Structure 1
């Protein structure tokens, strides 16, 4: 397994050699694990506090809050959150509750506004979190408005994504969290220039780590996706780079097979691979030949057997694509529907059954193989965060 960044064509060449040899990059050891890791409420609480409450995770693409006043709301493991674009272009995040009596301040999933107004007593807050209005304030009594604005959460926009730390007492530094190799990698992709064509969330009766694991796994493709992904992607072949907290790996598409017995002779093989980036703690970013897909996984605030997956399709803007509006829409609608069909028909049923099996009282010990390299990195690094 390569530890340092290598040119993409070199890494693709390594994947091609694996195809020729029936091999793959491997982790150092086979690793045992226990079912309780997916069912224990005490461990789930540690993950919410020591992982999501301490380190940055992606919650949106910047294009989802493109203009001043644009907002999205979400349920984080510790807080209900509003993410909103400021007048100066900065993105901020606040706990989504009125400081009067705790009512949910904004119930829409997304929108645009100049003030957030509580439906209970109509207290109003600016998009900068400041307390702007107390209804009937003459009879309410004296309030230090500077103290009772919305509670702000650490938030930063970097590489086109909005990152959040789910604890108001913490700091955020996305570049430091990514480390120089992954920060440089993401910085080279032009992600801020893309648009989020579609985003959707799915609440599933599955632990978030089971969800994350499934989308780092190149070992299951032939078996779980025999008539879909397996027609296009090779199974159990990856050329990986381990950056410590994060990793990325190349998986060859079957269109690369013509080069098994033929020298590429300088021809780029990039159109014949998918490149996956695991961004600790909970994101899988897939680099396809003409777009990116972002998958994020968050634990439920209370139940270790539930989680939320969010899927985003990130594509060149229609103006940059050279396509007509109709052709552009048709292309990405088709791509989105393919993703949804596989997710609902194949991935989710398997993952639900995994959670059900792991809840057995006598589940026994299980194993991660050396060939499940990205899953091993995920488990290793998550263990460091919660230890």
Structure 2
């Protein structure tokens, strides 16, 4: 379970139950419009890509680097990355490019090894990014190994989450980025206890069109009637602004029968979903999702995360979609239900959300409308676009 106090969980439950009884939600004062051109303009998109690369990004969790010598090579927003854990337990982040001629020193994926050797000319690097050796250095020429380590990027592991910045020389200030309130909330979630179930990469439409579906449940009744709407109440949502970010809380079907004296019930019947600027949504899903559990059973916390990133053009994006659980599950009685939940969550996004998202993308250049309109009930998306517009004013993006 989370580290939230019983009183905090009860207060969340009371807020959500009140909305359920009134069939209500947190609403904006008025509707909100965004020019469709903002989804198509290449100049705006290029600034957005720079912004994403300069903004702290949730790259992974502590479980992704389970022991010293662990590594994870990945590509995010066109930047090849190498994440490592040193013998000291410290996490480091580098651009995955040999300093000789730029070939990746590690193939994409996760594993464990003490060093990385470039396949092209066998330059070898340590977990700390230092250049350890190069063959035939006598005839290669005068090279100071200290000047040829892998290019390092800012990274910090905090409360079970690994954050990084994708632009060399840009500092990582998590205190400023998260703010005191959100930082405290994330610490209470206990991310360090989670185990990865599945990670899939899903190609989709423009990153903003794609991300917007994560910020409202207005579409659940029509699009997800047999999936997400089978265990959550559509269009009932409690939204809290947290600087650039926000927290959405939604009720799980059956909340009216919740036993408020039971911590397990308080965790089970209120879902928390953090919208982390600019494009990550990290949701704590009920353990009743896509199935039922004994109400007296211990709660196994579940994370369903979608990390939406700009693709190679304004018309494309990549979603890093992940599922995690708070207990070891392989070879246990909960393995089957865990894998069913994970598969169902990813498949719902791929088969239900993303065809619709692509349909919207197909109309962007049609001239069919000048604006996309967001209702008062889609308040989290108002906040997302306000925060994005404000961030895009940063003069550093002009460089």
TM-score (norm 1): 0.90
C-alpha contact 2:94 2:129 (8 A) present in aligned 1: yes
Equivalent in 255, 258, 275 of residue 278 of structure 1: 275
Aligned-residue offset at 1:269:
4.0
Aligned-residue offset at 1:161:
1.3
2:181, 2:224 → 1: CA distance? 32
Q: Which runs of 5+ in 2 are unaligned?
A: 1-6, 287-300, 394-399
Map 1:312-323 onto structure 2 (within 5 A).
312-318=322-328
1:350, 1:297 → 2: CA distance? 16
Residue in 1 aligned with 2:212?
213
C-alpha contact 1:78 1:166 (8 A) present in aligned 2: no
Measured against aligned partners, the alpha-carbon deviations of 1:162-200 in whole angstroms (never above 9, x if no partner) come to 111111111012232110100000111111121222222
C-alpha contact 1:62 1:161 (8 A) present in aligned 2: yes
Residue in 1 aligned with 2:144?
144
Map 1:1-387 onto structure 2 (within 5 A).
7-49=8-50, 51-77=51-77, 79-204=79-204, 206-258=205-257, 266=261, 269-289=266-286, 290-300=301-311, 302-318=312-328, 325-387=331-393
1:356, 1:248 → 2: CA distance? 30
C-alpha contact 1:57 1:282 (8 A) present in aligned 2: no
C-alpha contact 1:78 1:167 (8 A) present in aligned 2: no
2:261, 2:342 → 1: CA distance? 33
C-alpha contact 1:244 1:377 (8 A) present in aligned 2: no
C-alpha contact 2:308 2:320 (8 A) present in aligned 1: yes
2:356, 2:340 → 1: CA distance? 24
Gap change, CA 1:94 and 1:132, over 3 Å in 2: same
C-alpha contact 1:198 1:312 (8 A) present in aligned 2: yes
Gap change, CA 1:278 and 1:265, over 3 Å in 2: closer
| Aligned residues between the structures | 372
TM-score (norm 2): 0.88
Residue in 1 aligned with 2:295?
none
Aligned-residue offset at 1:31:
1.2
Gap change, CA 1:266 and 1:316, over 3 Å in 2: closer
1:382, 1:265 → 2: CA distance? 38
Aligned CA-pair RMSD? 2.0
1:195, 1:116 → 2: CA distance? 26
2:112, 2:14 → 1: CA distance? 47
Aligned-residue offset at 1:224:
0.8
Q: Which runs of 5+ in 1 are unaligned?
A: 1-5
Secondary structure of 2:353's counterpart equals helix
Measured against aligned partners, the alpha-carbon deviations of 1:348-379 in whole angstroms (never above 9, x if no partner) come to 11111121122324532121111101111111
C-alpha contact 1:56 1:174 (8 A) present in aligned 2: yes
C-alpha contact 2:81 2:95 (8 A) present in aligned 1: yes
Aligned-residue offset at 1:265:
6.8
1:244, 1:237 → 2: CA distance? 22
C-alpha contact 2:30 2:375 (8 A) present in aligned 1: yes
